[in-house]
Chains A and B, each alone.
Chain A
Amino acid sequence: MTVVFPLPNQNVIVFNSLEFIFRILPVSVLLCALVPGIGFSGVLLFLSLLLYWMADPSFIWLLLAVWLINYMLAWWMGCCRGKTGRRLFLILSVFCDFGLLFGYKFSLFPFLTGSGAIPLGISFYIFRAVSYTADVYTGKIPPELSPFKLCIYLYMFPVMASGPITRYGQISGQLKKNMAPYKVEEGLHTFIVGLAFKVLLADRIGILWHEIQVIGFESISTPLAWMGAFAYTLMLYFDFNGYSLMAVGVGKMLGFTLPENFRYPYAARSFTQFWRRWHITLSSWFRDYVYIPLGGSRKGRVRTCLNLLAVWLLTGIWHGNGWNFLLWGLLLWLLLTAEKLFLRYWLEEHGVWSRLYMLFLIPVTWIVFAVTDLKELAVYLSRMFPVFGPTQGNVNGADFIKYGKMFWPLFLFGWFFSRPWAEDWYKKTKKNPLWMAVLLAVFWICIYNLVNTSGNPFLYFSF
């Protein structure tokens, strides 16, 4: 009997694909559960590399390169007595890691990539690798002597495609078999919540954003432009948070405790707070490995502002190679600097104003993030703020009524679930068997949706 995998198939690592839910996940959990203690890591590593290979076989060598470079350099760094030598190894590893990352992100190696494709999850495993060597350099952790443990840390499949960006210190203690039935159950709960966020909220609210692009930005009314910005805001949150929750859930099922990535960012009352709650593992990475090494806020106001600028330009570049991402980083830098210098105190004192401030500025920053074409971005912003330009397109002034009628329940659900109410309620009444029934029903509703849309919400086969 031969097993034929359709190659390459990105669905194998997409948590909300039927392939992952019904094949990869149960098989992995079962395999890891059946293999006795000592073989667990081997099975996990094998499965993770197999999934990378199934998703995109052309970049396996890159995984091996990043792993070996960081393993060797950190090891040598550990052997060095002098500070200069350690620094040299750090610089060398950072240079190699970021060289690869930039090279692929900006297609600097056409001879290697050919198609110009970006290797799966590269932004994430490079960041994990750099944090590892940097932590070895600062002495936070000793260099890992077992190459396999490091490899699992870099490539374990729950955090493969979109994080969370773990640190070696968080994982190193967990790299032994620690599975239990109750953990599988807990992980399943988290996974179902994440799946529902992605399939029932993000994908559906995303339809409005898609519709607005179909109409063309020049032809949307101002209320619809705002509705679209809110739709994108909610879509991005439930998409990414849903994905992160699924990752945490899968990790839990395998016995790992992965860091949380979102802590109700839309309940924040300033951008400073917001960025401590949004994509936490990325913002804390930039804090620990860019902002603080540059001096943080200890070297005076001007230097603080410049350090923040460096962080936000890099954050912008990390998210994509369009000018709009730089613009987005700059915009956030402006807001955060303003908050740091004077706005913060005012926002802390004025509850209502701080909420309004976030309510209107968050969608604006996300629109700058979302629209990669600068001309189109200008058009969209001029539709949100019609004072900046006359209407160029063919606007149906009643468009927002149609979409409002279609999407208001989703906005309501989105608003409700972007606040901690449901989770608080769940934590208080965890024992209630009704929750089990709810989770079960939600799971099958998600599957129903996935089966009937082939996993692609825009792919209706109907026009």
Chain B
Amino acid sequence: MKIFRGCPVLLMLLVTGLLFSGISVKGERGIYRDIPASAGYEPACAPMMKGIHEGIYPWSAAQDEDPEKKGDGLIRAADAAVLPDLECLNAGTVSGSEIPEAESLSENRCEEDGGSLSENTVKDEGSLSGNETAGTESLSGNAVFCHAEEDYFDDALFIGDSRTVGLFEYGHIEDRAQFYAQTSLMIYEVMENPKAIVKTDDERESVTVEEALSEKQFGKIYIMLGLNEMGFGTPESFGKAYGAVISRIRELQPDAVIYIQSIMHVASEKNETDPVYNNANIDLRNRPLMQLADNQNVFYLDINEALCDETGCLVSDWTFDQVHLKAAYYQVWKDYLLDHAVVRQ
């Protein structure tokens, strides 16, 4: 022990390190059981550190002993959002026969390899959007896509993650439309997350989208969410959660036109290297979104038509980080939305 007298920090590091590791090991099956391990190496104390990040403190152990209540907030929220609205979702928008079709499509997708995949993706989307257009004409004779001027956004609300934050900052429509957008916002929490920004008429406030939608009626609601969710759940559970949110928005805003924007693709470099955030996975999750469209009140907009090159990847020159558009190219997205406006007669 004598040698440690001159090494207070080293000694304290060893003690605290053992303590934190002990807490982590003890909580492994308890409070930290839903904390995922990283792919690479991490020290024994990592679960405690990650727990604090998620709001689970070592001392929250006692009160959270009930296994029903504790765990990963996100997944819980997802389940909660999915379950109650499942029936109305099935009854309302997705017909029973469509679900197996979606599954078979995704199976095909998984079997195909890189090269043929992108071609097929484009083809599939082509045929599907063809169906969609046909559907538009047959289902609702009173709604077609046409070009609109910027004042179309005067009664619009945009909901989304950091990409929509970009549209807010660089779309030059922040004075017209309102935005409920926040970096890393997910469909699972979109209704109740109080941190998100709604830019109301002249000030920025932090309210939940539920409150915002209850207070004011909008003419159009644009949603783009789904990239952050890719680490969580399956395309099916994602589609269900998305459907539940759409149903809730429909309840609160019965007269609004709801636009589901396809999840924007990533650029080729990320597409080729990222095992999770790649375009094949994005398309798997866009598919259930297409099926949420009823082409009367809810419409699906495939914005990748406008933002991607011939290989289906986000145009490389338009992005630095492979995910977000550079400021100069938000105009392209905005123009696409203006060219795909539903005008009700």
Contact = CB atoms under 8 A, between A and B. Distances in A.
Partners in one complex: yes
Interface size class of A (residues with CB under 8 A): 35 or more
A18 B162 contact: no
Contacts of B13: 188, 440, 443
Tell which of B7, B8, B9, B228 has the most Cβ of chain A within 10 Å.
Answer: B9
A367 B198 CA distance: 36
A214 B183 contact: no
Contact of B43 (A22, A188, A215): A22
B34 to A, nearest CB: 16
Contacts of B109: none
Interface in A353-410: 392-396, 399, 402
B41 A19 contact: yes
Q: State the main secondary structure of chain B at its contact with A.
A: helix
A18 B43 contact: yes
A423 interface: no
A182 B170 CA distance: 56
Interface stretch (B82-90, B291-299, B319-327): B319-327
A213 B9 contact: no
B283 interface: no
B6 interface: yes
A104 to B, nearest CB: 24
A462 interface: yes
Nearest to A192: B9
Interface string A440-458: 1001100110011010001
A463 B161 contact: yes
Interface residues of B, number: 43
Q: State the main secondary structure of chain A at its contact with B.
A: helix
A219 B52 contact: no
B129 interface: no
A448 B8 CA distance: 21
A219 B228 CA distance: 26
Contacts, number: 120
A402 B183 CA distance: 14
A433 B8 contact: yes
Given A185-B8, A448-B53, A463-B184, A440 B320 contact: no
A454 B38 contact: yes
A283 interface: no
Contacts of A61: none
B226 to A, nearest CB: 10
Contacts of B49: 447-448, 451-452
B163 interface: yes
Contact of A451 (B46, B170, B328): B46
A440 B326 contact: no
B162 A463 contact: yes
B169 A399 contact: yes
A204 interface: no
Tell which of B16, B46, B50, B52 has the most Cβ of chain A within 10 Å.
Answer: B46
Interface string B94-120: 000000000000000000000000000
Contact of A218 (B6, B20, B328, B331): B328
Contact of A394 (B3, B40, B45, B330): B330
Nearest to A449: B49
A325 to B, nearest CB: 21
A188 B12 CA distance: 12
A216 B166 CA distance: 12
A354 B172 CA distance: 42
Tell which of B321, B327, B328 has the most Cβ of chain A within 10 Å.
Answer: B327
Tell which of A19, A22, A184 has the most Cβ of chain B within 10 Å.
Answer: A22
Interface string B1-33: 001101111101100100010000000000000
A461 B6 CA distance: 42
B40 A11 contact: yes
B163 A219 contact: no
Given A185-B6, A219-B326, A463-B183, A452 B228 contact: no
A460 interface: yes
Tell which of A184, A396, A433 has the most Cβ of chain B within 10 Å.
Answer: A396
Contacts of B331: 394
Nearest to B171: A394
Report the 6 A-B pairs with minimum CB-CB distance, sorted nearest first. A462-B184, A216-B326, A219-B327, A185-B7, A451-B49, A22-B43
29 contacts: A18-B42, A19-B40, A21-B43, A181-B3, A181-B4, A181-B7, A185-B9, A188-B7, A188-B13, A189-B9, A215-B170, A216-B326, A218-B328, A394-B328, A433-B8, A440-B16, A448-B49, A451-B42, A451-B43, A452-B50, A454-B38, A460-B184, A461-B231, A462-B161, A462-B162, A462-B183, A463-B161, A463-B227, A463-B323
Interface of A: 11, 18-19, 21-23, 181-182, 184-185, 188-189, 192, 210, 213-216, 218-220, 392-396, 399, 402, 433, 436, 439-440, 443-444, 447-448, 451-452, 454, 458, 460-463
Given A192-B9, A444-B16, 9 more contacts: A181-B3, A215-B327, A216-B327, A218-B326, A219-B327, A396-B327, A440-B9, A451-B50, A460-B184
